[in-house]
Chain A
Amino acid sequence: MDDRDLVGRARRGDPEAFTQLIMQYQVPVYNMALRMVGRPDDAADIAQEAFTRAWEKIRTLRDAPFKSWLFQIAANLCYDHFRRGRRYGEMPDEETNKVIGLGIATPDPQERAEARERNRLVRESIEALDPDMRLAIVLRDVNGMAYEEIAGVLRVPLGTVKSRIARARAQVQEHLQQYPDFFPSTREDARAE
């Protein structure tokens, strides 16, 4: 069953259909919020509030794709988070956190430690972006959305999406270049022998 069927049923007041939409989108929405605000508890609060508002407003959703609409709600909540003066929170060490999507973890402690450090530096570089650029690159490189889908979430022209993603990547690259031991191949001045 695709989103349209579930959304149709949810619009008629079927909480089970909406629960299935939650199950489908809880991981991507939570991870988007997490990369935006940094702290797992804040991200979970934002995700829950996004689902709550979506449930309350779903009857107003007409032809727009549910996914873009839901992410739009979550993105606005992330902006609200910063407007309230909340800062980007420090992410706990992933070793102690619950992680999915990694497949089989490497058993080598040194490799694990290096992977953790690489991830920490990437998170740090994302944190340094302004929220508009951060959201664009998170939707693209964390959530894997197409540019048109991102334009729908951000309600900006495609050219703006393209520009924000490009500038965000350039800034992240500049940040990571400071750590050539971890990111040797992001260096523009690296020359093949």
Chain B
Amino acid sequence: MPSEPRIPTEPTLEELSAYLDHELDDGTRARVAEHVAGCADCKLRLDGLRQTAYAIRALPMETPPRTFTVPATSRRSVRWAPAGWIGGVAAAMLIIVVGVTHVPFHGPGGAASTGTVRGGLGQGAGSFAQGAPYRQVAPLEGSMHYAPDSALSASSSNSKTVMDQSSSRSLTISTDAASYHASGVVTFHVTTKGLSAEEASSVRIFLMRETGQGGYLVRLAAPSNAPAFPFDYQAAYSIPQMQLPAPVAGNYTLQVTIDTSDHAGLVAWLPLTITP
């Protein structure tokens, strides 16, 4: 007498959920897959869990309402810090501020270099020389424009504006696309309103990516002679010249940060995708 085909043991809720996450060992995974393939009820349970996970993952990633800093009044002693360096909040805001006029680049054409931090800005900052651990990339030759027409901002579908609490100061970044080929060129436009010359000159632009093993970032060099009012700047950067670690394709974040006199800072992020 022929026996009925045997359906493997019904998976538990934990197994179905872990199955979605590829977190089962091979044997259990095969058993769950085989059972689900032959059991309409379990397939529905699995689909329900999957759609639930998707609904949660669809929640947007929110931009923090302020920048986070290395605490200026840390209880920790910083052995190498020059005297008075760490004494105020302003110093903390200067930690990654690079005097852009001092950043060496490999000439026109935007060759990348591992830059050297030559010093901070402001009173009492002193100077320190350390290798900046991020690659710095100059804009493509001839791509920089000050006070450009607002065509890019107006036409861009990938744009973000952030304002301070009083809405008196704002920072807008726009890119010409949300997705770029790995051999492509990213063009973006940065505009600020209501900032002092010192505030505007603190602009820092990074392309960042988080990976499972941490993250990495590339600094996109800002103009060295930006006009004070308004800061309105457009430039193009070659993706190959950024020498991003492989695999280059993936999701990135363009971050623009500006220090403000009240230390709240303005920071704007834009998601970018690089395709193979």
List A residues at the B interface (Cβ < 8 Å): 1-6, 9, 12-20, 22-28, 30-31, 34-35, 40-41, 43-44, 47-48, 51-52, 55-56, 59, 66-67, 94, 97-104, 118-119, 122-123, 126, 137, 140-142, 144, 146-147, 159, 162-163, 165-167, 169-170, 172-173, 176, 183, 185-191
Q: Given the complex of chains A and B, what is the CA–CA distance between A48 and B131 in angstroms?
A: 26
Instruction: Kindly supply a per-residue 1/0 record for chain B positions 155-183, scoring 1 wherever the CB is within 8 Å of any chain A CB and 0 otherwise.
Output: 00110101000000000000000100000
Besides A94-B62, A186-B48, 10 more A-B contacts (Cβ < 8 Å) are A16-B133, A23-B208, A25-B215, A27-B63, A27-B253, A28-B210, A97-B62, A97-B63, A162-B17, A172-B56
- How many angstroms between the C-alpha atoms of A127 and B132 in the bound complex? 42
For A47, list chain B residues within 8 Å (CB): 64, 68
Does chain A have a CB within 8 A of B123? no
- Determine the distance from Cα of A136 to Cα of B178 in the docked complex, in whole angstroms: 31
Query: For the side of the interface on B, what is the size category?
Result: 35 or more
Residues from chain B with Cβ under 8 Å of A40 in the complex: 62, 64-65
Partner of B52, one of A5, A56, A173: A173
Q: Determine whether the beta carbon of A98 is less than 8 Å from that of B52.
A: no
* Contact present for A19 and B215 (CB under 8 Å): no
What are the interface flags for B180-210 relative to A under an 8 Å C-beta threshold, 1 for contact and 0 otherwise? Answer: 0000000000000000000000000010101
Contact of A24 among B17, B48, B49, B215 (CB under 8 A): B215
In the complex, identify which listed stretch (B2-10, B75-83, B145-153, B225-233) lies at the interface while the others stay far away: B75-83
Q: Interface of chain A, helix or strand or loop or mixed?
A: helix
Interface flag for B106 (CB, 8 Å): no
A122 B61 Cβ-Cβ under 8 A: no
Contact between A99 and B56, CB atoms less than 8 A apart: no
Interface residues of B (CB under 8 A from A): 12-14, 16-18, 21, 23, 44-45, 47-49, 51-53, 55-71, 74-76, 78-81, 86, 92, 95-96, 117, 130, 132-134, 157-158, 160, 162, 178, 206, 208, 210, 212-217, 253, 255, 268-271, 273
A13: B residues at CB distance < 8 A: 76, 78-81
Contacts of B255 in A (CB 8 A): 23
Complex CA–CA separation, A51 to B270 (angstroms): 23
Residue contact A119 to B45, C-beta cutoff 8 Å: no
Q: Tell me whether A94 and B60 are in contact (CB under 8 A).
A: yes
- Contact between chains at A170 and B13 (CB < 8 Å): yes
Report 25 cross-chain contacts, Cβ distance below 8 Å, ordered by A residue: A2-B216, A15-B81, A16-B95, A16-B132, A19-B96, A20-B96, A24-B210, A24-B217, A27-B64, A40-B64, A48-B66, A48-B68, A97-B63, A100-B63, A100-B160, A100-B253, A101-B61, A102-B60, A103-B158, A104-B157, A123-B59, A183-B55, A188-B45, A189-B44, A191-B44
Complex alpha-carbon distance, A152 and B81, angstroms: 33
Distance in angstroms from B52 CB to nearest chain A CB is 4
Known A3-B213, A167-B13; judge A55-B133 contact (CB<8 A): no
Complex CA gap A22/B212 in Å reads 16
Q: CA–CA, A54 to B209, complex, Å?
A: 21
- B56 x A100 contact (CB < 8 A): no
CB-based contact B271/A103 at 8 Å: yes
Q: Are B47 and A185 in contact (CB under 8 A)?
A: yes
A17 touches B133 (CB 8 A): yes
Task: Kindly list chain B residues whose C-beta atoms are within 8 Å of the C-beta of A187.
Answer: 48
Chain A residues, CB < 8 A from B65? 40-41, 44, 98
